[in-house]
Amino acid sequence: MFTEWIYWIRSMRIDELVMILGILLLVDAPRYAYSAVLFACYDGMRWLTTGRTPGIQTTPYEYCPPVSVIIAGYNEADTIARTMESVCQRYPQVQLIVVDDGSTDGMTEAAMTVAASRPEILVIRRDRRGGKSSALNLGLHYAIHDITVTVDADSRLDDTAIFELLQPMSNPRVAAVSATVLAWNPFASLAAWLQAYEYRQTIFISRMTRGRTGMLGIVSGAFGAFRTSVLRQLGGWDVGPGEDGDLVLRIRKAGYDIGVAPYANCFTNVPTSWVRLFWQRCRWDRTVITFECRKHEDLGFPWRKHFRWSNFFLLLERWVFNVVCVYTFWLYGFWLLLEYPESSLRLLGLLYLCGLSIEILQLLVLFFYSDRPKHDLLLSLVLPLYPIYQVYMKAIDLFALTREIVIRDSGDDNFVPIHVRTNTWRW
């Protein structure tokens, strides 16, 4: 069978083979791989000439201002104490603000236990849930320092996470900094394992490269830093879901830059079931329609006041890869199966192996930059399944985009309480 498959490939014309493999250009792997490989080659040459290797800073941190940290949560009694301790133990000058967004599980009491006799911690309880955006805005009202850091209530920080996160803020043009999010429960299930590997590629590597090109458009809500004055200038967070990406685009509109701290590590729990993963990604994936195609489309037009070339290329990338390529991928795939009906299994095998080859290339880049190579080696054992996982992600993309385009269902997401979303403009 293998010999027949090789013969089938060798019997194709070069232009025919290129046409078949063209579908791989529509998935995320080449999107991230090309830029990552270029930067890795550049940094590799710099390493050979200067001896400077990528990784966590080994010299004393030069920029260590006091910070206000906001933790907003809803029914996080089981995790809030651990998260609060994670923040307080990892940075010396912290004003910690915990906002309980109307929890019913004793979150406030758990937070007050940690806050007892610690004046740097402020715990605020709301009687009625208002959603994450309004909870963060309430915390922002009490922030006293020039830099505000947001941390999810179920997150855990690495030892040097806040120090690493703050270094790009020494540049006054930088108003927000994106950190790296890792899975706390990578081996809880196959779904969690695949997500854990995905995070290393799409958050750690991808955001590092996009940050260096000035095209970063996201700071994860789980862990990120912002200039307090800019947050107040913009009125804080708008109603979500997707409030983290929306805020970053608004910061870019205001003319500020977005920094990246790839070795500022934050750990969070990822969904362990395929169903929960499906609905989480639906909420994430449709934001490209809500924000880049509706609310902030003016970033991409030269005659609008918020235009910058970096903003234009950011939007262009999102429009092409997150919308156009999603639909083209499925149309292209069905066309290939119709064009080669008797060779569909051979065709899928060819595409799988080529996709896997691209992933192996990205894996080498990951090891070059990795600050935890043993952990990444374990994660990479799931690599043979990753091309199939990417197809599953494309199916979610298709579902989420189509629903958002046709019925704008982001406005009905339970992420935002009903009394808030019914009184909020739908983009």
* Residue 267 φ/ψ, nearest 5 degrees: -110, 135
Flag whether 273 is in a domain: yes
Q: pLDDT tens, 250-262?
A: 999 999 999 999 9
The yes-or-no verdict on residue 27 having pLDDT over 80 is no
Query: What pLDDT score does 81 carry?
Result: 94
Average pLDDT over residues 3-26: 82
Query: What pLDDT score does 257 carry?
Result: 95
Q: Which of 293, 265, 267, 268 is nearest to 207 (CA)?
A: 265
| Coarse DSSP helix, strand, coil percentages of the chain, rounded to the nearest 5 percent | 60, 10, 30
Flag whether 370 is in a domain: no
> Distance (Å, rounded) from C-alpha 98 to C-alpha 111?
7
Query: What pLDDT score does 382 carry?
Result: 97
The yes-or-no verdict on residue 318 having pLDDT over 80 is yes
Query: What pLDDT score does 162 carry?
Result: 97
Average pLDDT over residues 273-286: 95
Whole-Å CA distances, 40 to 51, 57, 354, 367: 14, 18, 21, 10
Percentage of the residues of the chain whose pLDDT score is greater than 70? 99
Query: What pLDDT score does 2 carry?
Result: 77
Flag whether 271 is in a domain: yes
Threshold 0.75, pTM exceeds: yes
Flag whether 343 is in a domain: no
DSSP string for 27-46: SHHHHHHHHHHHHHHHHHHH
In this prediction, residue 356 has a pLDDT band, given cuts at 50, 70 and 90, of very high
Flag whether 99 is in a domain: yes
Q: Which of 145, 149, 144, 172 is nearest to 162 (CA)?
A: 149
Average pLDDT over residues 41-59: 83
Flag whether 362 is in a domain: no
Residue 205 burial (CB count, 10 A)? 25
In this prediction, residue 396 has a pLDDT band, given cuts at 50, 70 and 90, of very high
Among 48-52, 222-226, 338-342, 400-404, name the one with the lowest average pLDDT: 48-52
Query: What pLDDT score does 290 carry?
Result: 93
- Residue ranges of alpha helices (H) inside 51-160 are 80-88, 107-115, 132-141
Average pLDDT over residues 373-389: 96
Q: pLDDT tens, 114-149?
A: 999 899 999 999 999 999 999 999 999 999 999 999
Average pLDDT over residues 294-315: 88
Compare 363 and 10 and report the one with higher pLDDT: 363
Q: Total structural domains in the chain?
A: 1
- Supply the range of the domain harboring residue 121: 67-277
Q: pLDDT tens, 53-111?
A: 777 877 889 999 999 999 999 999 999 999 999 999 999 999 999 999 999 999 999 99
Flag whether 250 is in a domain: yes
The yes-or-no verdict on residue 180 having pLDDT over 80 is yes
What is the DSSP pairing of strand 67-73 with strand 156-157? Answer: unpaired
Long-range contacts of 329-337 (CB under 8 A, 24+ apart): 329/23, 329/26, 329/27, 329/394, 330/394, 330/398, 332/22, 332/23, 332/26, 333/23, 336/20, 336/23
Query: What pLDDT score does 51 carry?
Result: 75
Query: What pLDDT score does 307 carry?
Result: 84
Residue with tokens 């990822």: 270
Flag whether 316 is in a domain: no
The average confidence (pLDDT) of the chain is 92
Average pLDDT over residues 173-188: 97
Query: What pLDDT score does 58 carry?
Result: 76
Please give the structure tokens belonging to residue 123: 């715990």
Q: What CATH code is carried by the domain that includes residue 231?
A: 3.90.550.10
In this prediction, residue 341 has a pLDDT band, given cuts at 50, 70 and 90, of confident
